[in-house]
Chain A
Amino acid sequence: MASEGAPAVGASVPTSGDAPAFDTSVAHVARVYNYWLGGKDNFAADRAAAEQAMAAYPDIALSARANRAFLRRVVTYLVSQAGIRQFLDIGTGIPSANNTHEVAQAIAPESRIVYVDNDPVVLAHARALLTSTPAGATDYIDADLRRTERILAGAAETLDFAQPVAIMLMAILQHLSDEDDPVGVVASLLAAVPAGSYLALSHPAKDIEAEKMKAMAERLNQMMAEKVTFRGQAEVAEFFTGLELVEPGMIRVQHWRPDTDEEANSPAALWGGVARKP
């Protein structure tokens, strides 16, 4: 479809057998994150988990904001300096300010973005609100990150995999345990895109503010459906194996090409980087 230049917009209706279950009685990452960002699209269980995490690591709200700012700078870089026009953004979250397609299409209106998440609340918002410019396209896929084949097949309806694609994994890989083989998941996504494509990711760190982050992870794992595994610098660096890291390399997200001193000085315990597939 992408090759026909059809403005594929919106998202397919979930089929009945595969309809996402609305269960707001258990905390979900997208809604917890929404609470940290000061949003109001969260439910009692999400607020409780978010508050628990904040008690362990009070800077988590600023950290979440710093991660959003990182996303904005990364997309700006990829569109304006790396010439990227296609994005596969996995772990969309509830739409907030500066969503990927808004940042990309503000610079290059023809940009095509496929969003992926597995939360029905995200689905309700994304398919209604993440709408494209007429020149470009957006689509939304309801899928789990572990199901890379399904994600890639769905994304192929909107993205042209013969052209470079930026794969975005912002603060999402911590929801894969080591048994889920997150390095393998990232590698299988990268295998589907051509040379000149990019991988951009951020990952909560276990080796920054280590004690607080450990306490936060324990609390989140008690209260959330998706468990978290925070990782250290060397483990996160593994995701970039075989790729060419863009300056300044893999680094704390607030130090990745900050626009202002305020951004650079924000507390944030996440590793992040952008790398090109050679």
Chain B
Amino acid sequence: MPSRLGEGLLGLPAMPRLFAAGGALAVFQPDRRELTGLAGRYGVLACHAGAEVSLVHQPADGVSTADMDPRALAPVESAGGPTVIRILLGSQLRRLREAAGITPDEAGYEIRASRSKISRVEHGRVSFKERDVADLLTLYGVTDEQQRRHMLSLAQQANSRGWWARYDDVMPDWFATYVGLEQATTLIRTYELQFVPGLFQTEDYARAVTVLGHRSAPADEIARRVLLRLKRQEILTVSDPPRVWAVIDESALRRPLGGNEVMRAQLRRLIELADLPHVTLQVMPFNRGGHSAAGGSFSILRFGEPDLPDIVYIEQLTGALYLDKADEVDNYREVMNRLSAEADTPVDSARELRKIIGAL
């Protein structure tokens, strides 16, 4: 029997709030007065305040509307895929530990692990054993049953696998983390010096870039890497896509990877993408001197959860940096703002792209 989501029942929180029910997660949007669930392994759930709870999309593993009985809804702190949940749960554990005045060493001792394991857990870099989370909560003096249940349910969520896990044969852990985060963003800002950003690449261009990086790889591995890249691009066409705001250096647009024909098609794709309302593309021309990214390419990922900080992603040859400390993120955000202010406007950038196509 479908349930009703009454305003009284939910108490209409002023901020978006997340709820868990039967293993599914849903977010209540006060401005839209509706409860929407997550895309992903649980399917998309949608219901409105005062309206019947409905299941819009039947998920593969069958969450039924009964699971969305609002009386079973318990507020949780985040949703957005296992990677983001892991980071959020980690930061909550850190807060609880610090509030209890317990050192990382003491916490590590409790779960038969090292201090550095606690640090990795609190940064969301490794997955959790539910038993460890339970032991830590006890150590931190968290006795409230509801709070414990909620944290443990988060730990369960964090251990689920995203679609990208099936590509782990062609993807190192450090990149799987990126893909997991990328899938959960509301805003991606990226600065690219060398290549067209992965989310914007055509299949042919992606193949040319992949071959450059993996010259000796067999053809089927190249194909899988390209497929993973194309699969990532699906976030651009979902119903509530993140905003992608890219600043691309002119050199990335002039370098004809895969040959002139492939590059022309790639540039035409960029013009099409830039027309999407949630895509912003700015070209940084050669002649705009001394621009601000002294380092190199980087991205800033933003999540809808108020508690989650922006994360800076910097890819290196054999690994990646993920920065989430406020002062570090502030620095990169400032550099990104300078780059955006110095680069061509979106309108001038589209004109520039047409010029580059003409010159190829």
Contact = CB atoms under 8 A, between A and B. Distances in A.
Decide if the interface of chain A is mainly helix, strand, loop or mixed.
loop
Given A10-B346, A11-B345, A44-B326, A128 B302 contact: no
B232 interface: no
B338 A124 contact: yes
Contacts of A38: 15, 306
Contact of B340 (A20, A44, A128): A128
A100 B14 CA distance: 23
A14 interface: yes
Contacts of B14: 62
Q: Which of A22, A38, A44, A127 is most buried by chain B, counting CB atoms within 10 A of its CB?
A: A127
A128 B330 contact: no
B334 interface: yes
A62 B330 CA distance: 25
A229 interface: no
19 contacts: A9-B345, A9-B347, A13-B345, A14-B341, A22-B341, A24-B330, A24-B334, A40-B302, A41-B333, A43-B333, A121-B337, A124-B340, A125-B340, A128-B280, A128-B340, A128-B343, A129-B280, A131-B347, A262-B12
B310 A40 contact: yes
B64 to A, nearest CB: 32
Nearest to A97: B31
A128 B310 contact: no
A9 B341 CA distance: 15
B348 A10 contact: yes
B94 to A, nearest CB: 19
A13 B245 CA distance: 18
A22 B291 CA distance: 13
B15 A128 contact: no
Interface in A177-236: none
A262 B340 CA distance: 37
Interface string A38-56: 1011011000000000000
Contact of A22 (B15, B338, B343): B338
B346 A44 contact: no
Number of contact residues on B: which range applies?
A: 20 to 34
A124 B346 contact: no
A258 interface: no
Interface in B278-314: 280, 282, 302, 306, 309-310
Contact of A120 (B310, B327, B341, B346): B341
Interface string B18-30: 0000000000000
A127 B341 contact: yes
Contacts of A123: 341
Nearest to B339: A124
Interface of B: 12, 14-15, 245, 280, 282, 302, 306, 309-310, 326-327, 330, 333-334, 337-338, 340-348
A124 B341 CA distance: 4
A128 B326 contact: no
B230 to A, nearest CB: 26
A121 B336 CA distance: 10
B232 to A, nearest CB: 23
Nearest to A11: B345
A1 B306 CA distance: 43
Contacts of A120: 337-338, 341
A31 B227 CA distance: 40
A20 B334 CA distance: 13
Of B15, B340, B341, which is in contact with the most chain A CB atoms at under 10 Å from its CB?
Answer: B341
Contacts of B334: 22, 24, 43
Nearest to B343: A128
A44 B327 contact: yes
A10 B283 CA distance: 14
A269 B171 CA distance: 54
Nearest to B335: A22
Interface in A96-150: 120-121, 123-125, 127-129, 131
Contacts of B342: 13
B347 A10 contact: yes
Contacts of B280: 128-129, 131
Q: Which 7 A-B pairs have the closest CB atoms?
A: A10-B345, A124-B337, A124-B341, A124-B340, A10-B347, A9-B347, A43-B330
Given A22-B334, A120-B341, A128-B340, 5 more contacts: A9-B345, A13-B342, A22-B338, A43-B333, A131-B346
Interface string A1-40: 0000000011101100000101010000000000000101
A17 to B, nearest CB: 15
